[in-house]
Amino acid sequence: MAKLEFKGRITYKNQKKLPASILKLIKLSPGVTAYEPIFVDSSGMQALRKNKSSDSQGQGLSTTAGLTVPAFSLSFENFDKQWTKKDASGGAQWVFNGGAVYLNVELAVYILQGYDDPPKAYAAIVEHEYLHVYDDSVLVKKTLPEELLKDDTYTKPYLVEGKAVSDSTFQSVFKGDRYLKWVEPIWAEKRNERERFRDSEQEYKRFRERIDDARSELVRPHGRPELKPRQKTPIH
């Protein structure tokens, strides 16, 4: 049988390119394309945070300047060709012939309305969000495939070793969504680990400094009070 290959695929809900004036202020990780964020108001942002099951911060009601929301799915390259039915004495069985299984993530990057100014502060928020995007990409392209290849319940016996699956198991697990439901918590656990690191105090500090500096630069020349209260900017 052909070899099983997990392939990570990233798509973006964001479609518009970032303006060059912002793009030049952002340092992007390898392989990452930055799109213009989707702007939401504060109640929209709160709703997004509440819905995001992987939210580990427990700060659902605090102001959040940015948020990257992933939607995970799993698909076979060519399902009908990848599975062969065999008649066995105990009933029909199915054998996996190998090929690609896609680990898909659709990413949506949100920014709170009004946070696209000043440009340097905006760029810092976008840059932080695109570190989550980078993490999500590494997750489906590398970390998750490695994790799944250790899975003795479904992945190793049926998808790697090509062991025959009973028809009822095949129908619910692989044709139905039980395999997806099996993989999703593994993906979520790894994502939460990475997110906790990205949103740790240590990581936030450097972005917060850039944001706060950009804001004070904006008001310094005229000696006016700052437009927004000087606070620890939560990014996410």
153-171: b or e for each residue (b if 16 or more CB lie within 10 Å)?
ebbeebbbebebbebebbe
DSSP assignments along 90-120, one per residue = TEEEEEE--EEEEEEEEEEEEEETTTT-SHH
For residue 220, the 8-state DSSP code is G
Task: Answer yes or no whether residue 199 interacts with Zn ion by CB under 5 A.
Answer: yes
CB of 118 to Zn ion, least distance (A): 20
Neighbours of 11 (CB within 10 A): 10
3-class SS at 62? coil
CB of 199 to Zn ion, least distance (A): 4
CB of 212 to Zn ion, least distance (A): 17
Beta carbon nearer to Zn ion, 175 or 198: 198
Task: Answer yes or no whether residue 191 interacts with Zn ion by CB under 5 A.
Answer: no
CB of 185 to Zn ion, least distance (A): 21
Beta carbon nearer to Zn ion, 126 or 140: 126
For residue 32, the 8-state DSSP code is -
CA distances from 136 to 93, 181, 192 (A): 36, 18, 10
Q: Which range touches Zn ion (CB under 5 A), out of 44-52, 56-64, 167-175, 194-202?
A: 194-202
Beta carbon nearer to Zn ion, 93 or 233: 233
Beta carbon nearer to Zn ion, 208 or 236: 236
Neighbours of 218 (CB within 10 A): 18
Q: Which range touches Zn ion (CB under 5 A), out of 12-20, 119-127, 186-194, 196-204?
A: 196-204
Beta carbon nearer to Zn ion, 111 or 183: 111
For residue 68, the 8-state DSSP code is E
CB of 192 to Zn ion, least distance (A): 12
Six-digit token pair at 57?
A: 């911060």
> What is the distance between the alpha carbons of residues 184 and 19, in angstroms, rounded to a whole number?
35
Beta carbon nearer to Zn ion, 4 or 133: 133
Beta strands at 165-166 and 99-112: parallel, antiparallel or unpaired: unpaired
CB of 111 to Zn ion, least distance (A): 12
CA distances from 88 to 16, 160, 162, 183, 204 (A): 53, 21, 16, 29, 59
Q: Which range touches Zn ion (CB under 5 A), out of 104-112, 117-125, 192-200, 207-215?
A: 192-200
- Residues 154 and 173 sit within 8 Å (Cβ to Cβ): yes
CB of 50 to Zn ion, least distance (A): 16
Task: Answer yes or no whether residue 236 interacts with Zn ion by CB under 5 A.
Answer: yes
* Total chain residues near Zn ion (CB under 5 A): 3
Beta carbon nearer to Zn ion, 55 or 199: 199
Write out the residues near Zn ion by the rule CB under 5 A.
198-199, 236
